[in-house]
Structures are given as C-alpha cells and as structure tokens.
Amino acid sequence: MPSSDFWLAPHYVGWLLQGFWVTIQLSLVVSFAATILGFLVCIARLSPFVCLAWPVRAYLSLFRNTPLLVQLFFWYFGASALMPPELVQWLNTQHILQLVLFDVQWPSFEMLAAFVGLTIYTTAFVAEELRSGVRAVRKGQWAAAASLGMSSMQVWRCVVMPQALRNTFPSLIGQYMNVIKNTSLTMAIGLAELSYASRQVETETFKTFQSFGIATLLYVLLVMLVEVGGQCLQRHRLQVRGGLS
C-alpha cells in the first residue's frame, strides 16, 4: 500500500526544513538574548535598591503569570496599533538588520514581535532560575569571602556566580528546551516556523501523518540535542574541576 505517493513531495519537505531553520534561528537568538538579559534582571532583583528591585519584581510576576500567546498577540497586534504606521512599514522593509544578522528574515514584523515576545517571556524565567541558584549558595561562602578581604564585586565574580551558575546549569538547559518548544506559538501571529509549515503542508497535501510526523520528529531531535549537549557540557565541566559540586 505505501506507494510512491505515501511520501511527501520533496518541495513540501523543503517547506518543513525551511520552517525548521526559522525555528532554530529564533531559538538561538532568543536563548542568547534571554540569558544575558536574565543575568541583568537577576542582579537588579537582588540589588538592595528598592527603586530597582520592585519594578523588576512586578515585571517577573506579570510576565511569568500571563500566557505567552497573549503576550505575543500584544506585541504583534497591540504594539503595532500604538506605533505610527510609517514605523511599522519601515520595520517591514529590507534594512540594516538583515545585513547584520545574515539572512534571518528579520525585516518581517512577525519575526520582530516573536523575538521581543519570546525574549521578554524567557528572560523572566531565566532570571528566576538564576536567583534561586544564587540563593542556594550557602551564607558561609559570603562570610568566608568577606573575611578574606574581598570586595563585594569580587565576592560576586569569584565566589558566588561560579557556584550559582553550576547550581542553575541544569534548569537553564531546561529553559533552552522550553524556548524551542515555545517558538511553536509564534505560528499564531503568522511566523512561518516549523509548526506553521507543518500545518500548511497538511492543508495542501492532506498527508496528516507525514507532515506532523516529520515536524514532531524534528522538534524531538532538536530538544534531545540540547538536552544531551547540556549533559555532556556539565559532565565535562565537572571532570575539569575534579569532582562533584
């Protein structure tokens, strides 16, 4: 029964792979940006300055407790309504961004909204993971470092952060896996990533099993790759440092 027309035509597989490429690009850029921003937000959250810590608390609580989909709708429909139409048009045309970020399809407004929405959402989670990593560093470590005459900057850089990063590493990997899965929501604002492509191929060919099957397989492969990569990195780092924790 599985004859030659059981399989998808090559150009449909091409669509799926194109979508996959968009998913990979978006995941990479978002993970990178969210890690850096998450660091800054975590430091602001832990800072003794109330005027800094409270707005950050509000941000964390608000963006962690609303669905990503609604946030994406807000950035896509809501923000474009607030911006002058000329600006939206400008964002949608070819310009410098494409030159800097090699062929990332950046000029589309969907892509920008997806990037902004996903990054702001992920940053909130990364910051909280980092904070719990910092909190897990024992109080004695601070005291010991201070008694050695280290400045608070040195304590952060040489004592607390290395330990906090090691505590946070597994959950950071988990966050990167979530980013990959969350990119699928951007199909709702019309970004042609993997889920969008699979739905499109399904509507055109009626080959439900094949199109969703390939898309699912690609997602699982990518997520597993990140997980295994993370485990290898962690094992390697632990070996280099000579022992557990």
Partner 1 sequence: MNVDVIHDNLLYFLVGAYPHGPLGGAALTLLLSVLSASLSAILGLVFGVALVLTRGVAHTTLLLFLGFFRAIPVIMLIFWVYFLLPILFKVDVPGLFTVVCALSLIGGAYLAHSVSAGISSLPAGQWQAGRALGLNTVQIMTSIILPQALPVMLPSFINQWVALIKDTSLAYVIGVAELSFVATQVSNRVMVHPTEIFLFVGLMYYVICATLELLANRVARRYDKHLRLDGK
Point out which residues bind partner 1 (CB under 8 A): 61-62, 65-71, 73-74, 77-82, 177, 180-185, 187-188, 195, 198-199, 202, 208-209, 212, 215-216, 219-220, 223-224
The CB-of-129 to partner 1 minimum distance in angstroms stands at 14
Residue at token pair 């027309």: 5
What are the CA-CA distances from residue 213 to residues 42, 54, 147, 194, 202 (Å)? 39, 46, 59, 12, 11
Q: Of the two residues 151 and 208, which places its CB atom closer to partner 1 in the complex?
A: 208
The CB-of-68 to partner 1 minimum distance in angstroms stands at 7
- Are 61 and 124 in contact by the 8 Å Cβ rule? The answer is no
| H-type alpha helices, the chain | 10-46, 50-64, 68-73, 79-82, 85-92, 96-100, 109-135, 139-147, 152-154, 161-182, 194-205, 208-241
Q: Of the two residues 38 and 117, which places its CB atom closer to partner 1 in the complex?
A: 117
* Amino acid, res. 143: A
The CB-of-52 to partner 1 minimum distance in angstroms stands at 21
The CB-of-79 to partner 1 minimum distance in angstroms stands at 7
Q: Of the two residues 156 and 198, which places its CB atom closer to partner 1 in the complex?
A: 198
Q: Of the two residues 141 and 208, which places its CB atom closer to partner 1 in the complex?
A: 208
